[in-house]
Amino acid sequence: MEISYNALPPERRRTPPPKVETFGKIRTDHMFVADYRDGAWRDPRITPYGPFALPPGAACLHYGQTLFEGAKAFRHADGEVYVWRFDENMKRLNHSASVLMMPEVPEELQLEGLLRLIDLERGWCPEKPECSLYIRPLMFAVQDMLAVKPSKTYIFCIMLSPSGPYYAGGFDKAITLLITGRYHRAVSGGTGTAKCAGNYAASLRPAGHAANAGAEQVLYLDASNTYLEEAGSMNHFHVLADGTFVIPQFNDSVLRSITSLSVLELAAQGRLRARQEKIALKNFVEGLRSGEIIEAGGLGTAAVISPVNRYLFEDGSSLIVGDGKIGRHSRDLYELYSRMQFGSVPAPEGWLRRVPSYEK
Ligand code: PLP
Ligand code: COI
């Protein structure tokens, strides 16, 4: 499908800021958009970033048929921009679409829309460590109807956001997680494996509760309050005294983190030690107390590797991880991962895709 350009004239384009310290606040000048109607994606286009006109009855506003993705592109020393593992994001977007009864977006359309958009906006990709061009694909239902059923019309778009670290302070500032059985992010049979807006709306109240308690996020348990699942916007890991990373088993209420999958694939290639398993809260607490667990943290596109040095509990008690400092295994993983993303250490075949220069 041919992608059309309605780009701003050069004199109306903004100059990218020299420094980016925030996450997700800045937008570039353009976005990619496609419309779904009469059973097909139509009119794919690159257009100035700006508001959509939506009827107040649009289904996304009432019943939450909205999904999104999160990916990143990096500027390498050769000056070119490279997208990290977007193939995995495209697959997961279509998985989320199937969960929400939304149409798939063909991977060729997602990919070409993204590459052409980044090509046009390449000047916005920051160069500094811990900074990237954050990629946010989004799909939402636009049919004007009040019956609860799948919409027949949708908009798919991709926006770009030059960003710094998700948590202020980046890797060097460890965070605190609240472990609570009071709230759950998702349950078996629900929408936990989809990156859908509703899951994040549901995470706001628990996140507020965590903030009041002095934690950055909640570490959710399964619905029986027995096993560790994940945090509100990242997967979770801990490190055993022998250096092994342990990630909670994926199930139908946990988002299949591409960062976790990458860590496991690196382990399969012998570049570190990692495995997934069902982790009982009881054993996790015992491991923290006994010193068998020496490090812990979160894994995610925005979060990258975010060290956790303290867990809070509903009764007001807390446990420090290891000696409370950021450990060397987390640091080694963070450095390996970031260097692969920035191209100074080879990444596995196919993980980085150079953004081509297109005729416009
Ligand atoms: N879990 C949740 C709920 C998330 O929002 C994210 C962020 O995308 C992750 C895990 C990490 O997934 P990924 O590594 O694919 O970004
Ligand atoms: C990501 O890591 O890309 C996310 O989508 C997490 C969050 C910003 C919602």
The CATH number of the domain holding residue 260 is: 3.20.10.10
Whether residue 207 sits in one domain with residue 156: no
243 and 191 within one domain: yes
Count of domains observed in the chain: 2
The answer to whether residue 338 is domain-embedded is no
Token pair of 111, please? 């990919």
- Tell whether pTM > 0.75: yes
Paired strand residues for 42: 35
pLDDT of residue 158: 99
- Both 138 and 184 in a single domain? no
Closest C-alpha among 295, 167, 164, 178 to residue 242: 295
Ligand number with the minimum distance to the CA of 248: 1
Strand, helix or coil at 250? coil
- Pair (151, 184) in one structural domain: no
- Domain annotation covers residue 332: no
Residue 66 belongs to a domain: yes
Give yes or no: residues 134 and 204 share one domain.
Answer: no
Q: Is the CB of 255 within 6 Å of ligand 1?
A: yes
Residue 38 DSSP one-character state = T
290 in the same domain as 184: yes
Q: Average pLDDT for consecutive 10-residue bins of the chain (360 residues)?
A: 96 94 96 98 98 98 98 97 98 98 98 98 94 98 98 98 94 97 96 98 97 97 98 97 98 98 98 98 98 98 97 97 97 98 97 94
Is 132 in the same domain as 235?
no
pLDDT at 359: 85
344 located within any domain: no
Residue 114: its pLDDT value, please?
98
How far, in Å, are 49, 86, 201 from residue 71 at the CA level? 18, 7, 20
Specify whether 193 is located in the same domain as 150. no
Q: Are residues 282 and 177 in the same domain?
A: yes
Q: Domain residues for 154?
A: 4-164+349-354
Residues 137 and 191 in one domain: no
Radius of gyration of the chain (CA): 21
196 lines ligand 1 (CB under 6 A): no
Which numbered atom of ligand 1 lies nearest the CA of 260?
14
Q: Are residues 34 and 157 located together in one domain of the fold?
A: yes
- 253 C-beta closer than 6 A to ligand 1: no
Can you give the pLDDT at residue 349? 97
**Do 68 and 160 belong together in one domain?**
yes
